[in-house]
Amino acid sequence: MELIVERIILSSRWLLVIFYLGLVAALALYGFSFVYKLIKVAGMVFVYDDAQMILAMLGLIDAALVASLIVMVMISGYENFVSRFDEGDGEVSFLGKLDSGSLKIKVASSIVAISSIHLLQIFLNTKQYTSDQLMWATIMHIAFVVSALMLGYLEQIMNSLKK
C-alpha cells in the first residue's frame, strides 16, 4: 500500500506540466500583445516627443522582462519538479542548475526590475498621479527591494549552513 501511495504522489508531479503548458500559451499571447505594442510605437515614432518615446520603450522593456520571468519559471520549475532536460544537443546548457532557492532570488530580482521600470514610468508621468499614488508606488517598490534582499540574505545563510 505504501509503495502505491508513493508512486501516485511521485507521478502527480506530471500534473504540473499542465501549468507549464499554460504558461507557454500565456507567453505566446503576451508575445502577440508585445508585437501589437511595438507596431503601435513604430507608427507613432514621428509623433511622440522624447518623453513619450522613452515611456513607450520602457513599456517594451517591461514586457521583455515579464516574458523572461515566465520563461525562467517554466524552465526551472519543469526541471526542478517534473523532469530534467536532455542536454545531449547542448540546447539547454545555458540554463545552469537553478534550485528553488536561487529561483526565488532570480524571480524576486526580476520583480524588482519590473517594479523599477513601472516606478520610472510613473515618475516620468508625475502629472497624471497624485502625491498619494506616488508615495504608495514608491513604498511598494521599496517592499519588493527589501523582500529580494531578505531572500538573498536567507539564501546566503542557508548555503553557509550547508557547508
Using DSSP's 3-state secondary structure scheme, residue 126 falls into: helix
Angle at CA 88, nearest 5°, toward 97 and 23?
55
Contact (CB, 8 A) for 145 and 105: no
Average pLDDT of the chain to the nearest whole number = 87
* Joined grid coordinates for residue 124: 516620468
DSSP code, position 144? H
pLDDT digits (tens, 9 = 90+) for 72-131: 888 888 887 888 777 655 565 555 566 667 778 888 888 999 999 989 989 888 889 999
User: Is the CB of residue 30 less than 8 Å from the CB of residue 70?
Assistant: yes
In the block, cell 516574458 appears at 67
